Amino acid sequence: MAKTPIAFSLNGMERSMFVDPGQNLLDALRRGVGDLSPKYGCAQGTCGTCSVLVDGKLQLACITLAEAVAGSSVTTTAGLADGSELHPLQRSFMDNFAAQCGYCTPGMLMAAKALLDRNPSPQRQDVVEAISGNLCRCTGYEPIIDAILKAAAFMRTRGRP
């Protein structure tokens, strides 16, 4: 099967790889590059646990063709922290018990980051809408919503550390 060479930026680092026709971005990231932070949940674009940012826009890696990110900038949860300094969202998820099994967490964090990047002062309803494409089965949504709102408040007062 003919493979296509692609180059893209992943969490600020240049990557190049060969992808199969039809190969999705989730598989390319996980098995091709070894970034295991986006998770497989449904491969149907319904659960949100594979969410990543492509040029700052929230996308589901399982229904994005790997070829389509050529030349783009991709951000995953693995690139959220600044070195050893956690992103305020990550810190807030820890402090507010916003993860139990942790499997939906990377997708939740990406959806939250996409929201805060475009709206630093979200209302509760904005947060609910922002994570409406992300399913969680154990934690429950309330601690996650609280964590996102608290991270937003922290970032407004202190700025990003």
Partner 1 sequence: MTSFEFRREFFADERQGQLNEIGKPTIRQDILGHVTGRSPYYDDHLFDGLLHMRCVRSPHHHARIVSVDFSEAARMEGVRRVVGPDDVPKNLNTLLSLIGFGKEDEPLLTPSKVAYRGEPILAIVAESERQARAAVQAVRVEWEELPHVLDVEEALKPNAPVVNATYPGNTFEYYDKYDHQKLRFGDVEQGFAKADQIVEGSYRMSPIEQAPMETCGAIAVPETNDRIACYTSTQALFFSLATTAKLLDMSSARLHFVGGTVGGGFGGKVDSIVEPMSVLGALLTGAPVKFMWDREEEMQVGAPRGAELWKIKDGIDSRGRIVARSFTGYFDSGAYTRLSSYAVVKATGHLPGPYSIPNVASNVFCVFTNRTPATAMRGFGITGVDFAIECQMDRGARATNMNPIDFRILNAYRDGDMKAHRRLAKNTALIECCQVVADKARWIIGSQSRTQSSLRGGGGEKAHVPATVIDEEGRIGDRRRSDVPTAPHSAGGRKRRLPEGSLRGEDVVAAPPQNPDMLGDAPASDPAASPENGRTLARPRFGPPAEVQVDRPRPRRPQARERPAIPAAPARPSTRRPLRRRTSVSRHVSGFRRR
Chain residues binding partner 1 by CB under 8 A are: 22, 30-31, 34, 36-44, 46-47, 49, 76-78, 80-81, 86, 89-91, 93-97, 99-106, 109, 135-138
- Specify the residue, 36 or 71, whose C-beta has the smaller distance to partner 1: 36
- Specify the residue, 71 or 140, whose C-beta has the smaller distance to partner 1: 140
Looking at the chain, the number of H-run helices and the number of E-run strands are 5, 5
- Exposure of 111 in the CB half-sphere (CA atoms within 13 A): 27
Orientation angle between helical segments 88-95 and 105-118, nearest 10 degrees:
130
- Specify the residue, 80 or 127, whose C-beta has the smaller distance to partner 1: 80
Q: Smallest distance, Å, CB 105 to partner 1?
A: 5
- Exposure of 115 in the CB half-sphere (CA atoms within 13 A): 27
- Specify the residue, 84 or 157, whose C-beta has the smaller distance to partner 1: 84
What is the spatial distance between Cα 13 and Cα 155, in angstroms, rounded to a whole number? 25
- Specify the residue, 49 or 72, whose C-beta has the smaller distance to partner 1: 49
Q: Smallest distance, Å, CB 110 to partner 1?
A: 10
Q: Smallest distance, Å, CB 36 to partner 1?
A: 4
Cβ(55)–Cβ(72) below 8 Å: yes
Strand order in the sheet with 13-19: 13-19, 4-10, 73-75, 51-54, 57-60
Q: Smallest distance, Å, CB 30 to partner 1?
A: 8
What is the spatial distance between Cα 55 and Cα 52, in angstroms, rounded to a whole number? 10
Q: Smallest distance, Å, CB 104 to partner 1?
A: 5
